[in-house]
Amino acid sequence: MIVVPFRAQHLKEIHLQPAQAWMQPFVDAPEYLRQLEACDSYTALLHDQVVAIAGLVTVWPGRAHLSALISDDLGGAFIQLHREVERRLRASPLRRIEATVDDGFEAAHRWLRMLGFELETPNGMRGYMPNGGTSYLYARVQ
């Protein structure tokens, strides 16, 4: 796996995992591209295929939101991806990094805990999702 700076074409090349497939219309929107281009964003490539895109979208100085898109083509490269994300989070000067997880997306809940994030909304945030569904807020505070 290699990690390269994010480029717009990467959004067209990623095949989202089933748990994130509902996001495709939002990923295709110009606003999402502008957010990723304006922040510290990277793409993970495995055999020249886009397997992940992640970025830290600044909310204000010292605080950012982690956005991560994972491909269904990631295969056995999860450990490599995890180590790379973990390394970049440790090196980040940000005081607070947040991430949200959809209700029922257990793999994402586990991954955030593995990355040192703590659940801040155990009862969830009802109505947070575009479809009115519940999401959960995690934070990593340094």
pTM here is: 0.91
pLDDT in tens, 68-126: 999 998 888 999 999 999 999 999 999 999 999 999 999 999 999 999 999 999 999 99
pLDDT in tens, 14-52: 999 999 998 888 888 888 888 888 888 999 999 999 999
Query: What whole-number distance in Å separates Cα of residue 83 and Cα of residue 76?
Result: 13
Nearest-5° Cα angle at 31, 29 to 33 = 80
Domain range annotation of the chain: 2-141
Please give the CATH architecture assigned to the domain spanning 2-141.
3-Layer(aba) Sandwich (3.40)
* Amino acid code (one letter) for 52: A
* Rg over CA atoms, the chain: 14
Amino acid 111: pLDDT = 96
134: Cα within 13 Å, side-chain hemisphere: 10
DSSP letter, residue 23 = G
Tokens of 104: 């029922």
Amino acid 35: pLDDT = 86
Is residue 69 packed enough to be buried (19+ CB in 10 Å), middle (13-18) or exposed (0-12)? buried
Amino acid 95: pLDDT = 97
Tokens of 12: 């067209």
